Amino acid sequence: MNDKEYIIENVIKSGEFTGQYGLTIKYTIQAGGETGDLNQKVNTPAPKIGDKIFGHFEDTQYGKRFKKASQAGGGYKSNPETQLQIMRQNALTNAVNYCIGKAGFMEKKEGLKFLTGKEIIEVAFYFSQFSEGKIDFNHKEPETKEQEPKTEEEEEILDFVGRELEDRDEKD
């Protein structure tokens, strides 16, 4: 059993039946040059051409079937790029919340300057760097990681966020 990611090339609803999990929809899918049946619960979104699906085709007593990999408990391996995208989105969301909160403590004119796209992206960059373990809470790079040269822009962002953190600590 070699689970892998497939892209659905063709799909046809080929029936339905009541199984041990209730009403089940049967689709015949073509992916990766193979064709087989995919059974899904009625409340699972129907597969569409172009969808990515993770699992494997196997021969059964009922013919060739596509078996999805379990996403809970180990069988499913996440895509590292997807994880980075999720981490960046989380950093951006938290940066927006942080900047809005910080701007709320400023004079209106100053607060609006702090809510520019550039300011928010700079904070999001810092948050994502922290989430990736590239910097720690003391604004230092971990000693165990290989030191990478920073661009001038990265240094400016880190300095900016460091000053913000110092300002926050002084106010506390």
Q: Are residues 167 and 89 in the same domain?
A: yes
In a domain, 74, yes or no: no
pLDDT of residue 162: 67
Share of the chain above pLDDT 90, in %: 34
Q: Are residues 31 and 97 in the same domain?
A: no
Share of the chain above pLDDT 70, in %: 75
Q: Are residues 33 and 98 in the same domain?
A: no
Contact (CB, 8 A) for 129 and 88: no
Last residue of some domain: 68, 91, 121? 68
pLDDT of residue 12: 96
Burial of 55 (C-beta count, 10 Å sphere; 0-12/13-18/19+): buried
pLDDT of residue 19: 84
Contact (CB, 8 A) for 46 and 83: no
In a domain, 73, yes or no: no
Q: Are residues 166 and 109 in the same domain?
A: yes
CA distance 37 to 39: 6
In a domain, 141, yes or no: yes
In a domain, 121, yes or no: yes
DSSP 8: E
Q: Are residues 100 and 164 in the same domain?
A: yes
**pLDDT per position as a tens digit, 37-65:** 999 998 899 999 999 999 999 999 989 99
Q: Are residues 154 and 113 in the same domain?
A: yes
At 59 the three-state DSSP class reads strand
Last residue of some domain: 22, 45, 68? 68
Q: Of the given ranges (28-32, 42-46, 52-56, 157-161), which has the lowest mean pLDDT?
A: 157-161
Domain, as residue range, for 31: 4-68
C-alpha gyration radius of the chain: 24
CA distance 116 to 95: 12
The domain tally of the chain equals 2
Q: Are strands 52-60 and 22-31 parallel, antiparallel or unpaired?
A: unpaired
β-partners of residue 35 are 30
What's the mean pLDDT when you consider all of the chain? 82
Mean pLDDT of 106-126: 85
